[in-house]
Structure 1
Amino acid sequence: MFRFANFLFQPLLSGGSAQLRVLICHDVPPNHLERFESTLKRLAKSWEFISPEDFSAMIDGRVPIVGRKLLLTFDDGFSSNRIVAESVLDSMGIKALFFIVSDFVGLTDASEIKRFIAEKIHPGLLPDRIPDSWSNMGWKDLEFLLKKGHTIGAHTRNHARLTMIEDEAKLMEEIVGSGDRLSRELGTRIDHFAYTFGDIDSFNERALEISRKRYKYVYSGLRGNNLNVKPWAIYRDAMSPNDPPNLIGAFLEGGADLIYRGKMRKYLSWGGA
């Protein structure tokens, strides 16, 4: 149903049938790994997974967007991301973009890791409710991902909700400091940034202004088709490993896009568009 509706109305809304969409993933628990792989394989039947480099070229207008293209991203830097990269993405030939919370990388004490997750990534969740499988990648894991052809992006220093930060220096450190540290530690450019939580109330005009000066590409958590978008206003569709494939497919077909158009207009107004 959503594909049929998208087929009818998308050309009127965007000037063509091409689609360029981005998926957000987070932790993939061990008991969901097989299901996650099955979901990706199902998506690959109707979508072409593209690399972050190809996505950037399409956003920049250097490469035309033809057909149905899909970029896979992972937020936060959970240790399961490396497992997915090795056991699923490698065999499928998928190159993904990993948005990393820089102060989360390298934590080694189990209680400290759980406390960080409970206080910053999943605020309100008690540390003793954090599954043991929830852990973080280290710097060696990120180096491994780069060697495998994946791309690293920044996701703030502490997974901070940027609209809650009033101090200018702290805001700069969360946005700029995260990318700069990742670049220093890994010896690579960090051109991609995704703000945390992804909703329109977790970002604002000042945070966008800082982000645009440091990064070439800024990603939201607002759903939509990235056809003729600004590189600092990229849509992304969230998915969970336990989401039914039909639900994920419905979102990718644009089933919820209209809900986010007004929010993206507000977002664009911050950048003068």
Structure 2
Amino acid sequence: MQRSTYKTGGTVQTTGAVVMKNVLKKHLLLMLGLVNRLSSTKASTHILIFHDIPPIQINRLEKLIRHLNDRYDIIDPVTFTQQFQNKCFSKKKSLLFSFDDGFYSNYIVAKEILFPLGIRSIFFIPTGFIDCSNREDEINYINNNIYEEESKPDLEIDDMKPMRWEHLSELLDMGNIIGAHTINHTQLSSIKTNSLMIDEITSSGDRIEYMLGSRVDHFAFPFGDINSINANALRIASKRYSYVYSGIRGPNMLDTNNFTIRREPVNVSDDLRYNSLVASGGLSSYYWRDRIRLDEMIRQ
């Protein structure tokens, strides 16, 4: 059988070579991350980001959550915001869970895994996804809005669907927090019209407040990387919300600005040891330049 190949950087690599390269890369990151983790003793909170959880990965996620719950102080969103308000972070490292994009699978995880463990989280919702009126609109939203072309998952689209407003209301009743994530999951840095920028950022929070009757103080910008945000978007978000979250890795400490909150993306398909490293902040040091750039934006 012929081996699969693809082009990268002007050369052709076999699938086997790519797999080996990724394995070696992860082992290197594990070793370097362990050094970073052992050298960091400051009180901090690392926020993990989860997205859609396919049914085939639910058990894998539960194993990860139970593993982290046994080893870390997992705090709720209210405790996290009180740390900012009181300028007093826990003396030991803590974790907070967050879920982006409003997938129904997040509701299942919260209800069947997190709630029985006493874990409360933040759910960042793109309201246009929740308001889709039919299955065709949902599929188009997923394909055209949530996933960038180069990172679309090889998943069964039938397993991916949005929560409904009643699910979000139930999440609130369980003690979770609902945050805004724009209307259309738009990359804010690509918006040229200021009025459209304001609408995407502020109207999503207004819509959630109207539908759920609960104040929305938390906002996460879509995609989360440094190239998906700019100073203008951050300025608009900071006027509407009390807390703005990125997807840039790093610890949240006493000197962290509440409009440049860091988070750690987690891929549930990665192995337990690697995701434990992610949760500990073992990869955070590689993103120090992005954190500096983000902090500079809020000062502009």
Residue pair 2:62, 2:113 contacting (<8 A) in 1 also: yes
CA deviation string 1:32-85 (max 9, x = no partner): 111111100001121111110001111223543221211100000001111111
Please tell me the residue identity of whatever aligns with 1:250.
L
SS at match of 2:158: coil
Per mean C-alpha deviation after superposition, the further-off stretch among 253-262 and 28-37 is 253-262
1:68 aligns with 2:68: no
Q: Contact (CA 8 Å) 1:60, 1:231: kept in 2 or not?
A: no
Q: What value does the CA root-mean-square deviation take over the aligned residues?
A: 1.9
Larger Rg: 2
How is 1:125-204 mapped onto 2 (pairs within 5 angstroms)?
Answer: 131-204=157-230
C-alpha distance 39-206 of structure 1, shift in aligned 2 (>3 A): same
1:75-154 correspondence runs (5 A): 75-124=100-149, 131-154=157-180
Amino-acid identity (%): 34
1:253 Cα deviation (Å)? 2.7
Aligned match of 1:210: 236
C-alpha deviation, 1:126, in angstroms = 8.2
Deviates most, 130-139 or 166-175: 130-139
Contact 1:121–1:159 (CA under 8 A) maintained in structure 2: yes
- Aligned pair partner of 1:10 in 40, 47, 51: 40
Which of 238, 247, 253 matches 1:227? Answer: 253
Q: Matched residues in 2 for 1:127 and 1:251: separation?
A: 21
* 2:36–2:285 Cα contact (<8 Å) kept: no
| Aligned counterpart, 1:253 | 280
CA distance in 2, matches of 1:249, 1:128: 25
- Mind listing any 5+ residue stretches in structure 1 that lack a counterpart? none
Comparing both structures, which one devotes a greater share of its residues to helix? 2
Counterpart of 2:170, as a letter, is F
Deviates more, 1:102-111 or 1:22-31: 102-111
For the 8 Å contact 1:114–1:127, the answer to whether it is kept is no
Letter in 2 for 1:33: I
Q: 1:209 to 1:6 in 2, by over 3 A?
A: same
Aligned partner letter, 1:215: Y
Distance 1:63 1:5, change over 3 A: closer
Gaps in structure 2 of 5+ consecutive residues = 1-30
Q: Secondary structure at the match of 2:47?
A: strand
